[in-house]
Amino acid sequence: MNKRLRRAHRIYVIFVIVFFFLLFYPLYYIAASKPVYYRWLNKLRKYNARCCCLFTGIFFRLTYEQPLNNERTYIYCANHSSNLDIMAFCLLATGKFHFMGKEELLKNPVLKLFFNTIDIPVSRSNRISAFRAFKKAGHNLESGRSLIIFPEGGISAENYPPVLSPFKNGPFRLAIEKKILVVPVTLCDIWKKMWDDGEKYGSSPGICDIYIHKAIPTAHLTLDDTDRLKDEVFELINSKLVTQ
C-alpha cells in the first residue's frame, strides 16, 4: 500500500475509533462510575475493540504457548510500538484487568475516561508518581485485577523499525512482592500496520501476530531475583519480535 493510501487509512481508523467510542460512551460512563462495574467496563472495551477491528480491517492473531486461566491474576508485560497495542490487549487479556500507562494519556480524548477511573496513569520522570502508581497497582492485583504494562516505559520515536528498549524494574519487583504470574507478550508486527507515529507512516489493514508466552511463576523468587526475571522476560519478548 502506498503512502497516500496508508495515510488515508489512518484517518479512517481514527474516525472509526472515535465513532465507536462515542457510541459506547454512555455505557462506558455508567460502567466507569463504580469499581463494582469495572468487569462490565472491560467487556465493553472488548466489544468496542472487536467493532474497530471489523470496520478497519485490522485483526489480531493470538498464539498461546500455554492457555491462560480466566480466574488467575497476571501481570502482562509487552513491547510497545503502536497506537493499536491497547486495543490488542483489550481483546487478549482475560478476566478483570487494567492498564498502567504514561500520564499524558489523561489528555487523550478517548483514553482519559479510563485513566481517570479503572487504569493507572504514571509520570515516567517522577519517582513519587511511580511509587504511588505501583502501590495502587499492587492493591488492584490483590483484589484480583490483572495488570497490563509496557516495561519499556514508553515508545521510542527514534527507531523505525522499532528496537526493544531496556525494561524498567517496577513491574518485576511488583510481581515478586505480590507473587503474581508474569505473562510476557510479544506484539510481533503490529507496528507494520500502525506505528506510534501514525501521522508519518500511516496505517494499513491486515493481520497482526501476537505471541503470548507461557506464564512465569514468581512465588519462589525474592527481590534479589528482580534483574534476572526482567532479563528473562526481555529475552522472551525479543525472541519473537519481527523487526524487518
CATH code assigned at 224 = 3.40.1130.10
Please tell me the distance from the alpha carbon of residue 137 to that of residue 119, in angstroms, as a whole number: 9
Q: What is the pLDDT of residue 244?
A: 52
What's the half-sphere exposure (Cβ side, CA atoms, 13 Å) at 193?
A: 22
| Confidence band, pLDDT 50/70/90 cuts, at residue 239 | very high
CA proximity to 58, closest of 200, 164, 178, 187: 187
Asked whether the CA dihedral 116, 120, 124, 125 is positive or negative, the reply is: positive
Q: Which domain holds residue 157?
A: 3-239
- Which three cell numbers, joined as nine digits, stand for 199? 501521522
Q: What is the pLDDT of residue 241?
A: 87
Percent of the chain with pLDDT over 70: 94
Q: Which has more pLDDT, 104 or 29? A: 29
Average pLDDT over residues 162-168: 87
Average pLDDT over residues 160-175: 88
Q: What is the pLDDT of residue 156?
A: 61
Q: What is the pLDDT of residue 196?
A: 66
Q: What is the pLDDT of residue 163?
A: 83
Mean pLDDT of the chain, nearest integer: 91
Our count of domains for the chain comes to 1
Q: What is the pLDDT of residue 118?
A: 95
| Confidence band, pLDDT 50/70/90 cuts, at residue 138 | very high
pTM for the whole structure: 0.92
Domain-located, residue 96: yes
Q: What is the pLDDT of residue 36?
A: 93
Q: Which has more pLDDT, 124 or 109? A: 109
| Confidence band, pLDDT 50/70/90 cuts, at residue 202 | confident
| Confidence band, pLDDT 50/70/90 cuts, at residue 99 | very high
Percent of the chain with pLDDT over 90: 72
Q: Which has more pLDDT, 152 or 227? A: 227
State the alpha helices, DSSP H only, in the chain.
Answer: 3-31, 38-56, 85-92, 112-115, 127-142, 170-178, 190-193, 198-201, 226-239
Reply yes or no on whether the pLDDT at 195 is more than 90: no
How many other C-beta atoms lie within 10 A of the C-beta of residue 144? 11
Domain-located, residue 244: no
